[in-house]
Structure 1
């Protein structure tokens, strides 16, 4: 382990969140001996169905991370899946876990996975859940070299395309999931379906989509639910068993931490974040990169935002939103690499933040991972979390703004302190107009970032 020795994991942890909320976590399975604090911190959630949130330290959503870490978390889950479901082990699993735990050796193990990707014994369909797990699902999928295809669910309303699967999510802020596969037969085979989410609490979301898929595609009989954290109670676990019997299917579960959570009390939720005077004016640079991509990279579809604004700009096929084979993923990678090189050349600072937007997380994360040293990554989110600067609480700053891609939806960005970064690159898949980014730019100007770069992957069509 080098100079750093990891303490053995305690079987039980108790978290006191904003005084009156107590969350007790009992760990039952921890195959790579993570300390809980290496994977998450606790926060209070603004949601009537669930008062707390495990804020991931390895996902690149709410908290900034080295972009290689979420990519490697996907690879670790991919290798764990291969071992548990197919009985094939990969000796690199422990090295990946150690790199994530210590933040050391990330480049070396990442290079090994690129040079020698993991092989799948049979055809497998990976599905990432919007919003938070679109990148995690993609990172699991892209670990493999063969037999893999990927799609992620979306909450966007895409015009003139038919969603082939629709289902609901529990305790979420936007519950309807849609799946827009361009190939109407994307699920029309007997390949195993691997559902990827960042966290499983009750398992109801997975049950909902498994029921929907099985009803629409009767050939499907093997499913696996993959997550970083799995907090299902014994009763919830029993529901998976009952579903297996009822539908005559098999459901495996894979996670890095598997345990039981009990909650008491309610958080004291008077918000008291760090206030900043908004007098700073950053230099804002618009960096279109669509000239580096080819026409086959684009999906010419419009969308309608929740408040009726039509966005006519193209989507990207490389996101996996419309279905993506591992072969196509490799084809697209050269173009994405060209974008990364172009954006890297525009860096001016030593400490750079790259921001993904909403469901558009994987490609910005991957771009960030190719932009050199001193680069951090996280993403805007729909998820409202309480913020306060009291008592070492997790979420200390909160920026609130209208979603640049889906106007009418409130978005958030957390924990950017004044003078923390030399520059920021905000990576958009598609913008309805340049003005759509103004609310986010206005919020970021509160924290004295000298340079804000707007990287737009597709051409604006107004």
Structure 2
């Protein structure tokens, strides 16, 4: 299989390119939203870490679109995982009260697209380190894989991510509100609640800290259930102002605890007067024009039901232990080979697309696929609930949008879901294979008639089903 793919992808580097335009320039010019650089703990500035788009949300006009998260923008999976490990190293240093010693050059090089830099970043951070005991909580849906990566960097951490999917048989440990979000209900559903009832540091992981209100709500709820001496807020970017940071200090003093924060980049977002009204008007004017044309051709669909390692959860929805991580590491290359076997002849540019909260499993599969077949251009992103305007312009972060119906019988009822930057955009090469990774709860007839049908019009599709973890019930 390796030889066949390597032959098929010779010359894949000779793709079209476009002038380097910051993917936030369009929003800045029309809405007046501006980013101001702040701290650079690992050498990367805020504008290199994020672009901008316009939300379809009356409460918040802009969306920061991460260049390293792999949610809305298909990204080299080694950059995504390496960035998460890098954030985890900052957390490790803070937990151990040490000065951070992390590589900064590879991240800047990887963000600039330097060949091999993403793998170098990831590899430098995978060297064995002494394990650190902690509880790591990631926020659904955006930061579920990021939280996993931070926990991986700590080595000895228990990981749990919040979820918006109630699961029969699991009682909620706690809940909190993400007030600016389009879908605000979060649940914590650990299979073993005792894993959370320990006085070890708690690390709260999100893609961005905007005001910090979500983490304040979380700490208040968790501390009421089980007081702890130390909390760490970890985010890719920290945009909090002085008053936001003061509220964190006030909460720490009131609870008698310590609250620290780390990020890969800091800064602030400047919003002009009337930005919500301008954003609403732009969405109204451009929504119809933003829908990409998708052909009627129905290309092939292959299916792979992964031989997932026994006893290993598909993610952190109900908890993920260091032992689970060790077992998964051994089997990821084997499972990636099973996926590669279904790509067929002529594959050159492959998107591994995850499913909403299911981000970590597809990330690790995409990473293993990229490692095993270095001539294959592998990118990773996931579907989302987040409604965002798409504009096919190099200065805009969300170039195309695929809309499709929810396919996992969500508790909040049916609704639209989205896959961004999957359909071809002007001056960008299309994907010639799409691997969609979904848990068995989401592998339904609604999926086949919705998202998969949309993807089949773009490229041959491989649907990879992961058994959904249902706990030790």
Q: By the TM > 0.5 criterion, same fold?
A: yes
* Structural mapping, 1:231-246, within 5 Å: 231-246=239-254
Q: 1:88 to 1:156 in 2, by over 3 A?
A: same
Contact map agreement 2:135 2:201 (CA 8 A) in 1: yes
What's the CA shift string for 1:52-97, capped at 9, x where partnerless?
0011111100000001111011111111222344233565522542
What's the CA shift string for 1:408-452, capped at 9, x where partnerless?
142101112347011111001223554132200222234x31x11
Deviation at 1:347, TM superposition (A): 2.4
Equivalent in the alignment of 1:314: none
2:26 equivalent to 1:44: no
- SS of alignment partner, residue 223 of structure 1: strand
Deviation at 1:394, TM superposition (A): 2.4
CA distance in 2 between partners of 1:403 and 1:238 (Å): 40
* Structural mapping, 1:448-459, within 5 Å: 448-449=458-459, 451-458=460-467
Q: 1:184 to 1:364 in 2, by over 3 A?
A: same
- SS of alignment partner, residue 87 of structure 1: coil
- SS of alignment partner, residue 69 of structure 1: helix
The list of structure 1 runs, each at least 4 consecutive aligned residues, that deviate by more than 6 angstroms after superposition, is none
Deviation at 1:259, TM superposition (A): 1.7
Q: Give the structure with the higher percent strand.
A: 1
* Structural mapping, 1:237-316, within 5 Å: 237-264=245-272, 265=275, 266-267=278-279, 268-269=282-283, 270-271=285-286, 272-273=289-290, 275-289=292-306, 292-297=307-312
Deviation at 1:194, TM superposition (A): 0.3
Contact map agreement 1:278 1:445 (CA 8 A) in 2: no
Equivalent in the alignment of 2:219: 210
2:350 equivalent to 1:339: no
Equivalent in the alignment of 2:135: 125
* Structural mapping, 1:81-160, within 5 Å: 81-89=91-99, 91-103=101-113, 104-114=116-126, 116-120=127-131, 122-145=132-155, 147-160=156-169
2:195 equivalent to 1:195: no
Equivalent in the alignment of 1:30: 40
Deviation at 1:391, TM superposition (A): 7.0
* 2:186 aligns with one of 166, 177, 180: 177
CA distance in 2 between partners of 1:14 and 1:184 (Å): 42
Deviation at 1:189, TM superposition (A): 1.2
Deviation at 1:201, TM superposition (A): 0.8
CA distance in 2 between partners of 1:205 and 1:390 (Å): 32
CA distance in 2 between partners of 1:321 and 1:132 (Å): 13
Deviation at 1:277, TM superposition (A): 4.7
CA distance in 2 between partners of 1:255 and 1:460 (Å): 31
CA distance in 2 between partners of 1:108 and 1:208 (Å): 37
Which range moved further: 129-138 or 422-431?
422-431
Q: 1:443 to 1:435 in 2, by over 3 A?
A: same
* 1:394 aligns with one of 381, 393, 397: 397
Contact map agreement 2:436 2:461 (CA 8 A) in 1: yes
- What is the TM-score normalised by the length of structure 1? 0.85
- SS of alignment partner, residue 389 of structure 2: coil
2:381 equivalent to 1:383: no
Equivalent in the alignment of 1:165: 174
Contact map agreement 2:44 2:104 (CA 8 A) in 1: no
- SS of alignment partner, residue 77 of structure 1: helix
Q: 1:296 to 1:84 in 2, by over 3 A?
A: closer
Q: How many residues align?
A: 422
* 1:366 aligns with one of 358, 361, 364: 364
Q: 1:243 to 1:277 in 2, by over 3 A?
A: closer
* 2:407 aligns with one of 404, 408, 415: 404
Deviation at 1:109, TM superposition (A): 4.1
- What is the TM-score normalised by the length of structure 2? 0.84
> Structure 1 stretches of 5 or more lacking a match?
1-12, 298-316
**Relative CO higher for 1 or 2, CA cutoff 8 Å, sep ≥ 6?**
2
Contact map agreement 2:349 2:377 (CA 8 A) in 1: yes
Q: Give the structure with the higher percent helix.
A: 2
CA distance in 1 between partners of 2:24 and 2:367 (Å): 34
- SS of alignment partner, residue 417 of structure 1: coil
Equivalent in the alignment of 2:355: 357
